[in-house]
Amino acid sequence: MSVITIERKVLEKNDEIASKNRGLFQEKGVFAVNLVSSPGSGKTSLLERTLEFLKGKARIAVVEGDVQTDLDSRRIEKYGVPVVQIVTNGSCHLEAKLVQDAIGRIDLNDVDILMIENVGNLVCPSGYDLGEAMKIVIVSTTEGDDKPLKYPAMFRNSSVLIINKIDLLPYVNCNLEDLKNNALQINPKLRIFETSCTTGLGIRDWSEWLLNKGSNS
Amino acid sequence: MHELSIASSIMGIVLESVPSNEEKHVKIVRVKVGELTAVVPESLEFCFEAITAGTPLEGAKLEIEHIGITGKCKECGGVFKVASLTFYCQYCNSPNIEIISGNELQVSEIETED
C-alpha cells in the first residue's frame, strides 16, 4: 500500500485561465467586474442604465452570458458599446475559458471597464473565477430579505451588493434593513447600493462609483 | 453544484498522477471539500462512483474530508470557527477577517494497493 500526495485543486484549470485573464486586464488597465444574481434581478437593465449614464465618460465593453439566446446582447448593442454574447447551451455558470474566448474578440486597448454579466444563478458562479477584479451581486426587493443567508458563498465572495427594484418596496414583503443586515452579517465589507432601473433612483451613485474604480485601474 | 463535472475533474487529476499501469490499483482517493463550496458530499460520492464505472478507476473509493469555515482576525489575530455564518471576529467583533479554511476543493492524496 502506498500513498501518493497530490494536493491539486479540482478547479485548477479554470483558475489558471482566470489568472491569465486577470493578468491581461491588469496589463491593459481594464477594470473587469462579474455581475451575478438570480434570474430576473435586473442585471441587464442595470447594465443599460449604467451604459446610458456613463456614455462619453468611460469606454465600456460587455460580455453577456446566457444559457440560450442572444436577447441580452441585442439589448446592449443599442448602446453602441462592444458586446460579445456567450451562449452556454446548458451550463449554469460562466467559466474562465469562455470569458477568455470572448475577450479575444474585443480590443481591450480601447476599454476602461469590462462588465461581464454572468448566467442568472446565485449558486454556481461563486465557485468559478473568471479573472475579474470583483464580483458584484445583485438582489432585487422582490426576492425577499433572506437571500444572503441562503446563498452565503455568493455574498461572501462579492465586493458590492446592489439592491435593485427599490421602487417596488411598498408592494413586496421585503424588509430593507433586514436585507442589508443579513448581507453584512455574511460579508461586513460589502459596499451596498440601492437602485431602481425603472425610476433611475441610485443609478448615479452606483455609476459614479464604477467610473471612479475604472479610472483608477 | 456540479458534482458530476467535479467528479470528472477529480478522475482526470488522479489519472494524471499515477502511471497508467497502476491506475487499477488506486483504492482510495482523498479529497478536501470546504463548506463554502456548496458541494454536496453524498452527491459527489455517487457521481464519482458513476463516472469511474467501467474505467481503470472502478472500485476506487472517494473519501471526503469536510472542512469547516475558519476565520482569522486581521485586528487581534484570533483564529475561530465561523459559526452560524456570522463573519465577525468572535474575540473582538471586528469585521476585518480573512477566511483561512472552508473554500477547499482539492484532491489531497491517493492510496494505491501494490
CA A96, distance to chain mean position in Å, is 14
Which residue in the set B17, B37, B86 is minimally distant from A4, CB to CB? B17
Among residues A122, A146, A145, which one has the least CA distance to residue A135? A122
Residues 6+ apart with CB under 8 A from A19: A131
Tell me the pTM.
Answer: 0.91
Per-residue pLDDT tens digits of chain A, which is 217 residues long: 889 999 999 999 999 999 999 999 999 999 999 999 999 999 999 999 999 999 999 999 999 998 898 898 889 999 999 999 999 888 889 999 999 999 999 999 999 999 999 999 999 999 899 999 999 999 999 999 999 999 999 999 999 999 999 999 999 999 999 999 999 999 999 999 999 999 999 999 999 999 999 888 7
Chain A contact for B92 (CB, 8 A cutoff): no
Q: What pLDDT does B98 receive?
A: 92
Number of A:B CB contacts under 8 A? 83
| Integer CA distances (angstroms), A136 to A11, A73, B15, B56, B111, in order | 22, 19, 37, 43, 41
For A184-203, what is each residue's pLDDT tens digit? Answer: 999 999 999 999 999 999 99
Cell representation of residue A30 = 481594464
A 120-179 residues inside an 8 A Cβ radius of B: 123-124, 126-127, 149, 152-153, 156
Q: What pLDDT does B1 receive?
A: 65
| Integer CA distances (angstroms), A115 to A92, A135, B37, in order | 18, 10, 24
Sequence spans of domains, chain B: 3-113
For A122-133, what is each residue's pLDDT tens digit? Answer: 999 998 999 999
Distance from CA of A31 to the nearest CA of B (A): 24
For B3-26, what is each residue's pLDDT tens digit? Answer: 988 999 999 999 999 887 777 789
Residues 6+ apart with CB under 8 A from A48: A75, A76, A79, A197
3-state helix/strand/coil string of chain B: CCHHHHHHHHHHHHHHHCCHHHHHHEEEEEEEEEHHHCCCHHHHHHHHHHHHCCCCCCCCEEEEEEECCEEEECCCCCEEECCCCCCCCCCCCCCCEEEEECCCEEEEEEEECC
Q: What pLDDT does A94 receive?
A: 93
For B59-97, what is each residue's pLDDT tens digit? Answer: 999 999 999 999 999 999 999 999 878 889 999 999 899
Which amino acid is located at A85 in the chain?
Q
Distance CA A182, CA A166 (A): 17
Q: Taking CB atoms and an 8 Å cutoff, what residues of chain B touch A10?
A: 6, 9-10, 13, 31, 105-107
A 178-197 residues inside an 8 A Cβ radius of B: 184-189
* Dihedral sign for Cα atoms in the order A206, A208, A210, A216: negative
CATH number of B3-113: 3.30.2320.80
CA B110, distance to chain mean position in Å, is 13
Q: Taking CB atoms and an 8 Å cutoff, what residues of chain A touch B88?
A: 185, 188
| Integer CA distances (angstroms), A155 to A133, A197, B38, in order | 15, 22, 13
Which residue in the set B27, B96, B107 is minimally distant from A6, CB to CB? B107
